[in-house]
Amino acid sequence: MGGDISLGDALSQMFWFMGELAFKFIPGTVASIIGTDPSGTGPIPAGLSPITEPVTMVSMVSFLEKTSSPDQYRAFSEGWGTYVTFAMGLSFVLSTGIIYCIIRIRQIRHVEHLRFEAAERTVTAQDVPKTRLRWDRVVEQASADSEHGWRLAILEADIMLNELLDLEGYRGETMADKMKQVDRARFNTIDYAWEAHKIRNQVAHEGAAFPLSAREVRRVIGLYESVFREFDLLK
């Protein structure tokens, strides 16, 4: 039909309209507000006084009529619907993209948070029931008549102590480094931990040359137990 226009013509008119809006209409509005000629060469022409009152839709239409040629004004009127449609569509696409990005960022941050928590905790919450089983095995070995079992009990109890220090957030290459960071106000049994760990070192480094008795083993295991009970590791 004679009145139909192609998509290319419609886009061309739309971009022309946006250019007119950005480079003519907006500068002309600013010039009218401050009371100067839009060309910057002198005062505003007669009939176009500076804007001193709130702008209404009617006054905006009147302003367009005064500052545009008839052909320009007609083009503005005909192209406004296309411009609004394009602007709304673009705004919808961009808004959808922004919402999607926000959701994805929140999801990524949540996953990162979970991973950081897992990395910081050597003994996780789901391992607590296993701790009771491990401790029962330590007590069983400490109560046996085998000196080999006694040594294994002390070594395993010290491993549990190291995991407890990790769980409480202490970091270091050795257990001694971790225990040196301990705040005594938050770790009442730290002296017990030091004493038990020193016995463990003697057991580990001196081997059979370090004498053990059933009574001494029970005392050392009792030191570890006091530490674990302070932090509710044994329930």
> How many separate domains does the chain show?
2
What is the C-alpha to C-alpha distance for residues 134 and 2, in angstroms, rounded to an integer? 89
pLDDT digits (tens, 9 = 90+) for 31-47: 655 555 545 445 555 44
Domain boundary among 88, 116, 144: 116
Backbone phi, psi, residue 182, to 5°: -65, 135
Helix axes 70-120, 57-67, angle to 10 degrees: 120
Indicate whether 1 belongs to any domain. no
Q: What is the pLDDT of residue 36?
A: 53
SS3 80: helix
Task: Clarify whether residues 176 and 195 are in a common domain.
Answer: yes
Chosen domain end from 116, 148, 172:
116
- d(CA 140, CA 162) in angstroms, rounded, equals 21
State yes or no: pLDDT of 170 exceeds 80. yes
Same domain, 68 and 17: yes
DSSP-derived letter for residue 174 is S
Same domain for 104 and 133, yes or no, is: no
Q: In this predicted model, what pLDDT tens digit does every residue of 99-138 receive, in sequence order?
A: 999 999 999 998 888 887 766 655 444 555 578 888 999 9
User: Does a structural domain hold residue 235?
Assistant: no
d(CA 75, CA 85): 16
Q: Answer yes or no: pTM beyond 0.85.
A: no
171: domain range?
Answer: 125-230
Only one residue has tokens 């290319």, namely 8
Written as six digits, the tokens of 173 are 């290459």
